[in-house]
Amino acid sequence: MPNGQTGFASTSSDAATTLDVAVVGGGLGGLYALHRLRKLGLKARAYEAGSGIGGTWFWNRYPGARCDVESLEYSYSFDEDLQQEWRWPERYGNQGEILRYIEHVADRFDLRKDVQLNTRIVAAQFDPAANLWTLRTEAGEVITAPFCIMATGNLSTPRVPDFKGIHDFKGKWYHSGLWPQQGVDFTGLRVGVIGTGSSGVQMIPLIAQQARHLHVFQRTANFSLPARNAPMDPERERIHKEHYAERRAAAWDTPFAIAGHPPPTQSALDVSEEERNAAYEAKWQEGGSISFLYAYTDLLLNKEANDTASEFVRNKIRGIVKDPQTAELLAPKDHPIGTKRLCLDTNYYETYNRPNVTLVDVRSAPITEITETGVRTTAGDYELDAIVFATGFDAMTGALKEIDIRAGNGPSLAEKWEYGPMTYLGLMVSGFPNMFIITGPGSPGVKTQMIASIQQHMDWIADCIAHVRGAGKSRIEPTGQAERAWVEHVNQVADSTLYPLANSWYVGANIPGKPRVFMPYVGGFAGYAKHCAAVVANGYEGFVLSP
Ligand SMILES: Cc1cc2nc3c(=O)[nH]c(=O)nc-3n(C[C@H](O)[C@H](O)[C@H](O)COP(=O)(O)OP(=O)(O)OC[C@H]3O[C@@H](n4cnc5c(N)ncnc54)[C@H](O)[C@@H]3O)c2cc1C
């Protein structure tokens, strides 16, 4: 589309904010981008749609919202004093603690002055003659910068299903990813939670404690493991901090960017059933997902091996949930364990033993509409005072596709990605010069401790911008060939695992009509980081730099 059609041409450049780098998003990614770019002496500014910084941890305030990577790992590693001084009160950080941490980081590194809140970027247009991006906000503000970084998040576009009648509902409804800042009191209410992914699994036990009655509408059962959250053990914290730098280095040398889990050495099929179940039991007691998936080498590679772990967890569910029919509904059978995001919970399965909780199977009797008084399925009506949509996000591509991103007269990014996202290294897109993505499709981001990926990506991007400028060039872009080869590689790696067997948000399965493409790179963080370094060592192999 020509410039004029997006409305940029009519805007005087005098009125524009002029930057070296425009950053979209004020979460952990956008904030680290500012810090890193400032160190290069660049003028950068981040634009955030929300009224506060923090991204995921600003928006997702639902009861029980908590990280499922241990807090000593899920934190920035770029500053030794920061990581030594910050005290995490619990094994896993909850939403409030993580947001407090992010705010502390922003203050400590004086980042807030370069974040513009309440500002949604709606369009970005690259002018190939001037090698300049022009971004436009919803309010009409114009920003120009030679480089643009999309730190828009992977799980930042909440998805509310398009149920007939939703606006007729007389009670209140909420989405887990757009939770009211003041919280919600469900005391004495008849509540319906729709969705049993990570957010649903975290909130259901807590809402059940408040609600008069809770109906959980489940389409697909997900595997969940006990988190075994607990107050931080001071001795554990001391030892961890004593070796923080080494632990971070060790983490960056693993597939998930998480240290402390010795890599498995044996196939699940090489040991007796008794030995295997004892190993799974130990992991179950320890809590956490990485530890469990690290029990054997082939849990994500070999279906037969995976079946042993899946069945172990199904048997646990059958042991916890007293009503056999409910237990069977909660026991996932349509995907191998670990191939969808593995949930961590506190008393999730136990909650179904409460007299005020009912599981509703909407696979066999789907929801047909929301009525004035509740939810209607093909099996009947459920009267509710409040509905919670724990229905997830338009993951990985949603936020980027919502921005009208164009370069010259070429197709928009949404058009280019009509049949699935294409990137080189998950970092850049051919045809969209000087635009970087943090943890985009094709990056291992969502399959890792994401702050590590954010830092690795942003360090690479900062070095890249410095290199382009240092070389007296003003433009970098991946070749179409390099991009195609990377997409093929991402798919080949996924196909060598069990991941494609699941209908997950990794393939966009939760969004009707979204093309089925496996989006994350599951070749592991360490291998990916080495590959990115090799690309640079080979003179930015696969990229074209121009004057
Ligand atoms: C409930 C939940 C639990 C999670 N738990 C874990 C976990 O245990 N471990 C883990 O590693 N990761 C977890 N994640 C992933 C989490 O998203 C990342 O760890 C991390 O917070 C991502 O940071 P980010 O800055 O890249 O993206 P985000 O935090 O999503 O921030 C992106 C920001 O960009 C803004 N934005 C988007 N589009 C625009 C636009 N057009 N204009 C202006 N602003 C825009 C959004 O408002 C948002 O604030 C979880 C995610 C969710 C939703």
> DSSP for 495-534?
HTSSGGGS--GGGTTTSTT------S--S-HHHHHHHHHH
Per-residue pLDDT at 14: 54
Residues 6+ apart with CB under 8 A from 302: 267, 268, 269, 498
For residues 30-45, average pLDDT? 98
Q: Which of 55-69, 102-116, 358-372, 494-508 shows the lowest per-residue confidence on average (mean pLDDT)? A: 494-508
The single residue listed with the structure tokens 């030679």 is 146
The single residue listed with the structure tokens 């690795």 is 456
* Among 235, 244, 253, residue whose Cα is nearest residue 76: 244
Per-residue pLDDT at 406: 98
* Among 299, 322, 324, 302, residue whose Cα is nearest residue 312: 299
For a mutational test of ligand 1's pocket, the pick from 47, 56, 435, i.e. the residue with the most ligand atoms closer than 8 A to its C-beta, is 56
Is the model's pLDDT at 8 over the cut of 60?
no
Q: How far apart are CA 442 and CA 423, in angstroms?
A: 6
Is the model's pLDDT at 520 over the cut of 90?
yes
Q: How far apart are CA 529 and CA 537, in angstroms?
A: 12
Per-residue pLDDT at 518: 84
Per-residue pLDDT at 274: 97
Q: What percent of the chain has pLDDT over 90?
A: 91
Q: How far apart are CA 336 and CA 330, in angstroms?
A: 14
Task: Decide whether any atom of ligand 1 lies within 6 Å of the 125 Cβ.
Answer: no
For a mutational test of ligand 1's pocket, the pick from 155, 388, 453, i.e. the residue with the most ligand atoms closer than 8 A to its C-beta, is 155
Which atom of ligand 1 has the smallest separation from the CA of 344?
8
Cα radius of gyration (the chain): 24
More confident residue, 513 or 235: 235
**pLDDT tier for residue 517 given thresholds of 50, 70 and 90:** confident
Q: Which of 28-32, 251-255, 513-517 shows the lowest per-residue confidence on average (mean pLDDT)? A: 513-517
Cα–ligand 1 centroid distance for 232 (angstroms): 25
Q: How far apart are CA 129 and CA 131, in angstroms?
A: 6
For residues 180-201, average pLDDT? 97
Answering whether pTM is above 0.85, one says yes
* Among 482, 437, 392, 428, residue whose Cα is nearest residue 193: 392
Question: Which residue owns the Cα nearest ligand 1 atom 48?
Answer: 55
Q: Which of 10-14, 192-196, 229-233 shows the lowest per-residue confidence on average (mean pLDDT)? A: 10-14
Is the model's pLDDT at 7 over the cut of 60?
no
Task: Decide whether any atom of ligand 1 lies within 6 Å of the 68 Cβ.
Answer: yes
Is the model's pLDDT at 1 over the cut of 90?
no
Q: How far apart are CA 526 and CA 444, in angstroms?
A: 10
Task: Decide whether any atom of ligand 1 lies within 6 Å of the 158 Cβ.
Answer: no
Task: Decide whether any atom of ligand 1 lies within 6 Å of the 65 Cβ.
Answer: yes
For residues 356-384, average pLDDT? 97
Q: How far apart are CA 445 and CA 456, in angstroms?
A: 10
Q: How far apart are CA 65 and CA 176, in angstroms?
A: 9
Per-residue pLDDT at 441: 95
* Among 392, 393, 56, 395, residue whose Cα is nearest residue 201: 392
By DSSP bridging, strand 367-370 and strand 374-377 are antiparallel
Is the model's pLDDT at 5 over the cut of 60?
no
pLDDT 10s digits, 15-37 = 799 999 999 999 999 999 999 99
Task: Decide whether any atom of ligand 1 lies within 6 Å of the 67 Cβ.
Answer: yes
Neighbouring CB atoms inside 10 A of 332's CB total 20
Mean pLDDT over each residue of the chain, to the nearest integer: 95
**pLDDT tier for residue 3 given thresholds of 50, 70 and 90:** very low
Cα–ligand 1 centroid distance for 269 (angstroms): 38
Neighbouring CB atoms inside 10 A of 372's CB total 9
By DSSP bridging, strand 380-383 and strand 374-377 are antiparallel
For residues 357-381, average pLDDT? 97
Is the model's pLDDT at 92 over the cut of 60?
yes
| Structure letter (DSSP) for residue 90 | B
Is the model's pLDDT at 6 over the cut of 60?
no
Task: Decide whether any atom of ligand 1 lies within 6 Å of the 155 Cβ.
Answer: yes
Is the model's pLDDT at 183 over the cut of 60?
yes
For residues 348-359, average pLDDT? 98
**Is-contact 128 433, C-beta < 8 A?**
yes
Phi first, then psi: give them for residue 316, nearest 5 degrees.
Answer: -60, -45
For residues 505-528, average pLDDT? 86
Q: How far apart are CA 276 and CA 527, in angstroms?
A: 29
Q: How far apart are CA 24 and CA 33, in angstroms?
A: 10
Tokens of 523: 């070749």
By DSSP bridging, strand 190-194 and strand 386-389 are parallel
pLDDT 10s digits, 442-491 = 999 999 999 999 999 999 999 999 999 999 999 999 999 999 999 999 99
Neighbouring CB atoms inside 10 A of 491's CB total 16
Neighbouring CB atoms inside 10 A of 373's CB total 16
pLDDT 10s digits, 382-441 = 999 999 999 999 999 999 999 999 999 999 999 999 999 999 999 999 999 999 999 999
Cα–ligand 1 centroid distance for 32 (angstroms): 13
**Is-contact 404 123, C-beta < 8 A?**
yes
Integer distance in angstroms from the first to the last C-alpha of the chain? 24
